[in-house]
Amino acid sequence: MEQILFTLTGVVVHGKAKGSTVGMPTANLCVPEGTVLPEFGVYAVSIDIEGRHYYGITNVGFRPSVDQSNDITIETYIFDFSNNIYGKTISINFHKYIRSTKKFDSLEKVKRQVEIDCSAVRLFFSELFRE
């Protein structure tokens, strides 16, 4: 199995549903205050949900493009997944740091960057499994 840099486990909670508006719904993790977090940014991740293994992309940190809040979020877009997992405990395994947090001028620009990031993550995992 691929190397895991960091793991977070928590309950999926409702977010602001911004990801759903651009066709990329996210699982938002509730993280208790004082939890140690990885460096803020975007990561290639695997996700364990009820004994099943998925892949996706996670943003840890602030969301400067969609709100001015100082709330730290952990948002995961799970590839090829559409189940309702609100209230379920999941584990997110961080495999590779992709990029730092950026501010974009519009949700459309955010969506384009996330599509680029998703392609990079899919390539990362496909190359990892070829080795």
Top-ranked range on mean pLDDT: pick from 1-15, 37-51, 108-122 = 37-51
Model pLDDT for residues 66-99, shown as the tens digit of each residue: 566 667 889 999 999 989 999 999 999 999 999 9
Model pLDDT for residues 106-131, shown as the tens digit of each residue: 778 888 888 999 999 999 999 887 75
pTM of the model: 0.86
What pLDDT, on a 0 to 100 scale, did the predictor assign at position 38? 92
Domain boundaries, the chain: 6-130
CB count in 10 Å sphere of residue 47: 21
Backbone dihedral region of 46: left (phi > 0), alpha (psi from -120 to 50 degrees) or beta? beta
8, 35 Cβ separation under 8 angstroms: yes
What pLDDT, on a 0 to 100 scale, did the predictor assign at position 107? 77
Q: Which two tokens stand for residue 40?
A: 């803020």
CATH class of this structure's domain 6-130: mainly beta
Confidence of residue 16 (pLDDT cuts 50, 70, 90): low
